Structure 1
Amino acid sequence: MRVGGSDIFHGYCIDVFNAAVELLPYALPYKFVPYGDGHSNPVKTDLLYMITTGAFDAVVGDITITTNRTKMVDFTQPYIESGLVVVAPVQKLNSSAWAFLRPFTPMMWCVTGLFFLAVGVVVWILERRTNDDFRGHPRRQLVTVAWFSFSTLFFSHRENVNSTLGRLVLIIWLFVVLVLTSSYTASLTSILTVEQLSSPIKGIESLMASNDPIGYQHGTFIDTYLTEEFNIQRSRLVSLNSEEEYEKALKDGPQKGGVAAIVDMRAYMELFLSTRCDFSIVGQEFTKMGWGFAFPRDSPLAIDMSTAILKLSENGELQKIHDKWLARKACSSEGASKK
């Protein structure tokens, strides 16, 4: 980020570079020269090519280290790990009187109820010939089976189980009940205490399975990566230039000519999401890449700067710079609803 029309620049990458230069064992005079028109993102590969022609001595910026790019220039040690992530609109799940049903799906509730009844029937079959608690009028036996089944949920069954096989079945079932109740309690506690966000997009897999348009940052390798590695049709990819275009495309959605989600580097998205709580990272980071500073091939500066970056990482300065520029300000790390 250029300050006015001066030669002073600020930003995450600039701060990391300046901090690393200060740790070099020798003085390194340098001057920052902006590249691009300031409106659209330049093609990073073209920028790196200018190092090979001698137009630039190095490139300082958000340059992702890829295999093809290492054939052109030498990179430093990555100063940030920033894989690709998917960002999509999210909505808050409102609390309701039926929130206690949310920890399990309808299918899970049905299966659990059937298992309760099945265990009651199995114990009744094993006990009814020798145990008076499971004998009597058919209606009484039916009530006993139902009561015994669901009373095990609270470990409060009154009927004695005498047979060895019946006790074995009951012990196994009580352990299953303990696991079920523990899982239910943990899930319900999370629902009631943690803000729940929902999105139809679950990650890169759901994007691959759909036909919705996908946004990406202009001038990066992402379009080629998605088409070659994930076989996503290039016609689905929409090139975007700025955070404002990201926000508008996500809000419009596919119905109004926007996009269903955006695929970009995590570091960009952390900055984008720092003040935009209507969107969130969905799914897992599906690549492991990093940013580095680029120098001509066989340049000793690449090695020296790598050593300086490692020192910044060890003394905690690298994390401080990260938190200064990329820490979320208005939302939690996984997104929050608008307040």
Structure 2
Amino acid sequence: MEPEGGANRRRIDAAVARLSGGRPHTVIRLAAAAAAFRMPPDANDRDVLEAPLRLAGDGAPERPVAEVLLQELLMDQLPVKLPTEHRDEWLDLLTHLSVAHDEECADVLLRHHQAGHVNRLTAHQVATLLTDTGWPSCGRHFIGDFGLRQMLVHRLYGLRPGGAAWYADHHLLRDHYGRGAADGEPPGGEAFGSVVTHRMNHHLVSGGADDVADHLAATLPGRPREWCAELLEIAQAPYPGGADARRERAQGLVVATGPALRRTVDQLLHAVWLCEERTRPTGQETARTLAQLLVLLSIMEFEGAGQLGKVATQWSDLAANEQPLLRCACTEQLGRRR
């Protein structure tokens, strides 16, 4: 049996690898902060961002390593073309944009958080400034660097007590895309196949998991192929701070309501969400859960159910090998140097 300290070290090393993207400076900072950090096996990678770091030689008190890195990566390397009036708010704006998927999504947030400003930044301008300073792009995430986005998401949740800033931003976007869905608008980017799916993504991460499960259960019969794509788009999302019961809910240890189809869809939603966040261990256990739930759905009596048997094999194989179910530029960056 592996010593407890060895398991903790391996868990921290995995978190550092994902959060750093292999960037040497970020690896050094995270590794130094996490040297004495205790990380439970089922912890979220973002937990390590709270590890304290004292910079040698500056006499300053310890600060969370995420705070140090965001200062060094963003505020100490401001884009040359960033207008002077936006320099003090650059970190705050990017923090809110960490939950955006495309430029339309980002513009909704920017209009809200720059209300009253005479000269406002647009999403296109911000995207250009990020590219100019060497940050990668992703068609599914406005902040296209996985590690940077995790740091900003972590900061967003902590901006106000109880994650209030997190919930406010997601509710703003949920309501925006709710109006778009009602008006029959087409999706604005490549991240989602429909405005409804985009809305459900923001609803899922801001307290609407039960509603999302209801929606998915109602839209599955007769369209399993399209439904699987929508499920992946909805569930490729970060989990808010606080207690995480997704694993228990996926395994049926949390009582769900409704008929068998709805209960099974609820479990599958949480299993896929766990896989797609990419910041918690999944592996064989989650792979088995995915396979069991999809096989269970495949033998239920609704049109197209049998097609889910093949999906069970595909998704469980990916999960067993810690591979994303829905690929994007961010997932391709994991473990690579920039």
TM-score, scaled to structure 2: 0.26
Greater radius of gyration (CA): 1
Higher helix proportion, which one?
A: 2
Q: Which has the higher contact order (CA 8 A, sep 6+)?
A: 1
Higher strand proportion, which one?
A: 1
